[in-house]
Structure 1
Amino acid sequence: MNGGLHVTVDGPPDAPVLLLGSSLGTTGAMWQPQVAALTERYRVVRYDHLGHGGSAVPAGPYTIDLLGRKVLRLLDALGVARVHYAGLSLGGMVGMWLAAHAGERIDRLALLCTSASLGPAEGWRARAATVRAGRLDSIADAIVERWFTPAFAARNPDTVAAYRNMLVGTPAAGYAGCCEAIAAMDLRPDLAAVRAPTLVIGAADDPATPPEQAAAIAERIPSARLVVLDGAAHLANVEQPEAVARLLAEHLDPEGVVPR
């Protein structure tokens, strides 16, 4: 554990570092569909958010600022001055904070299925209260239903079950704390400060962070590029693994060769 965050590291030790941030209710394992392609060229570091997976689980309160500062402590602990960063959902929120507040640490940025402000706050606080009362399992099916399109879920029940297990295995204090961090978050005023070349990826069938949210981010970040993927809901990297790997490779190394 580095600075309180659990990490999984894959790829050549002397390659550029790509840091991957996952969604609320998942761990770095969420990115497994991209690991083989991305480790052809990068030292891939997947971290678990504070309160998730193998990371520390403080009682709170949690904020996006706190989650971002934990990532900076992680980079310091790893001895890494500058990274590429890709984050989905909560991971994208942390990525926006990092690029705006510690831009010298971020080379290129990719934001997937995320939002700079995701209300209503009351809904997030109510979800946090439900989870703190020990009822995450009671809302898990409704959450996972938003992660995948019905067609994908019907074809891949084992995959859906694995991600549901990841969700319900999240510590209650950590999940609830991150819900409360999202409730209080408004990164919109920060986006103009982002100087890292940025790729924003939305998913056409994402009910959690619809494509309009991706477009709103791309409009506020100077020179950001927007792509909307068809045939994917919130966990677009799971439904469209090859497309996401290709888009990340093209963005992170425009002069390089796209992974097979």
Structure 2
Amino acid sequence: MTPFARIGGVAHHVAVDGTGPVCVLLAGLGLSWFDWDPVVPLLAPHRTVVRFDRPGHGLSAPAAAPPTATGEADRIAAVLDALGVPGTEPVTVVGHSIAGFHAEAFARLHPGRTAALVLVDSSVEERPRPTRTTAVSRILGAALSAAGVPAALGPAVRRAAVRHDPAPTALIRRVYGTSRVLRGALLENAHYGAVAAGLLALRATHPLPPGLHPVTVLAAPDGSARWERRQRALARRLGARYEAAVPSGHLVMLDRPDAVVRAVLRTGQEAA
């Protein structure tokens, strides 16, 4: 099922596959629902897999407001509400890269709706700078769009950034050849620090209830000792299990979908 749900006045593209307990997959900055495609056939026999594009990403409409940690957590809850998932039915939330911020914020703000949390090579910011440059991102997006950059270079930039990209060429053109996605990525990137700072504030006011739901940090060190130390530190901070997807680049869902599924199912079994 691939419907659209209107949330906060914005049309959100949503894809639902499989059966069983609900698992929400959240893609990173500039990525789309189909970046989880290698994971879905492995996970769908065991879980109802929900994917959605944040505003300005994938096939969703442009954002009506800049992102915040609280806003993204509430967006996940709103998507579940739109799909008719009861608030009494806890879900597993999986966040990749910057969406790790969103997934953790959801677990903190909606603990009763969270069965388990899996952070896939999540962004980590120990001392975030909450700068907001919405105007700059919009001006830059408008200038690049007027110059025809998205149509001319968008798909090529995507192909260069995602090695061994399995997505069909027509789909890449449909998504990454648009000014909407360029502007959405610029807006989200401009507020990266603010979202990280918002999550840091939530950690102080909304602790994860001990023992309520298990957490797994699935990292892709890829030879970087510093990144591995930061991911391990994140796991300790959250009282989480640490796992390494080796070999894998940052896009673990494409490089090692089996590792993602194993982490989801193992963490879900602990929750049960």
Q: TM-score range by the shorter chain?
A: 0.7 to 0.9
Which of 221, 243, 247 does residue 204 from structure 1 map onto? 221
- The DSSP-based 3-state class of the residue aligned with 1:117 is coil
Which of 246, 249, 262 does residue 230 from structure 1 map onto? 246
Find the aligned partners of 2:264 and 2:103 in 1 and give their Cα distance: 15
Q: 1:140 to 1:20 in 2, by over 3 A?
A: same
Match of 1:218 in 2: 235
**Residues 77-88 of structure 1: pairs in structure 2 closer than 5 A:** 77-80=82-85, 81=87, 82-88=90-96
**Residues 119-138 of structure 1: pairs in structure 2 closer than 5 A:** 130-134=140-144
Which of 200, 205, 208 does residue 194 from structure 1 map onto? 208
Find the aligned partners of 2:202 and 2:33 in 1 and give their Cα distance: 26
Match of 1:92 in 2: 100
Q: 1:200 to 1:128 in 2, by over 3 A?
A: farther
- Does the 8 Å contact 1:132/1:176 carry over to 2? no
- Does the 8 Å contact 1:132/1:172 carry over to 2? no
Q: 1:67 to 1:142 in 2, by over 3 A?
A: same
- Does the 8 Å contact 1:64/1:93 carry over to 2? yes
Letter in 2 for 1:204: P
Which of 38, 48, 62 does residue 43 from structure 2 map onto? 38
- Does the 8 Å contact 1:26/1:163 carry over to 2? no
Could you say what the CA RMSD is over the residues aligned between the two structures, in angstroms? 3.4
Q: Percent identity?
A: 25
- Does the 8 Å contact 2:120/2:260 carry over to 1? no
The alpha-carbon deviation at position 191 of structure 1 amounts to 3.9
Q: 1:54 to 1:216 in 2, by over 3 A?
A: same
Find the aligned partners of 1:25 and 1:206 in 2 and give their Cα distance: 24
Q: 1:103 to 1:112 in 2, by over 3 A?
A: same
Is 183-192 or 128-137 further displaced after alignment?
128-137
- Does the 8 Å contact 2:22/2:92 carry over to 1? yes
**Residues 50-199 of structure 1: pairs in structure 2 closer than 5 A:** 50-80=55-85, 81=87, 82-117=90-125, 130-134=140-144, 153=163, 156=164, 167=176, 169=178, 171-185=181-195, 186=197, 187-191=199-203, 193-195=207-209, 196-199=213-216
Find the aligned partners of 2:220 and 2:170 in 1 and give their Cα distance: 21
**Structure 2: 5+ residue runs without aligned partners?**
none
Find the aligned partners of 1:162 and 1:201 in 2 and give their Cα distance: 31
**Structure 1: 5+ residue runs without aligned partners?**
none
Is 116-125 or 170-179 further displaced after alignment?
116-125
Q: 1:96 to 1:171 in 2, by over 3 A?
A: same
The alpha-carbon deviation at position 214 of structure 1 amounts to 2.1
The alpha-carbon deviation at position 178 of structure 1 amounts to 1.1
Q: 1:71 to 1:254 in 2, by over 3 A?
A: closer
- The DSSP-based 3-state class of the residue aligned with 2:25 is strand
- Does the 8 Å contact 2:141/2:182 carry over to 1? yes
Q: 1:138 to 1:205 in 2, by over 3 A?
A: farther
Q: 1:105 to 1:141 in 2, by over 3 A?
A: same
Which of 219, 238, 257 does residue 241 from structure 1 map onto? 257
1:71-105: CA deviation from partner (whole Å, max 9, x where unpaired) = 22112222212211111112211101101111111
1:253 is aligned to 2:266: no
- The DSSP-based 3-state class of the residue aligned with 1:79 is coil
Match of 1:9 in 2: 16
Is 185-194 or 83-92 further displaced after alignment?
185-194
Find the aligned partners of 2:157 and 2:66 in 1 and give their Cα distance: 25
Find the aligned partners of 2:21 and 2:139 in 1 and give their Cα distance: 41
- Does the 8 Å contact 1:34/1:242 carry over to 2? yes
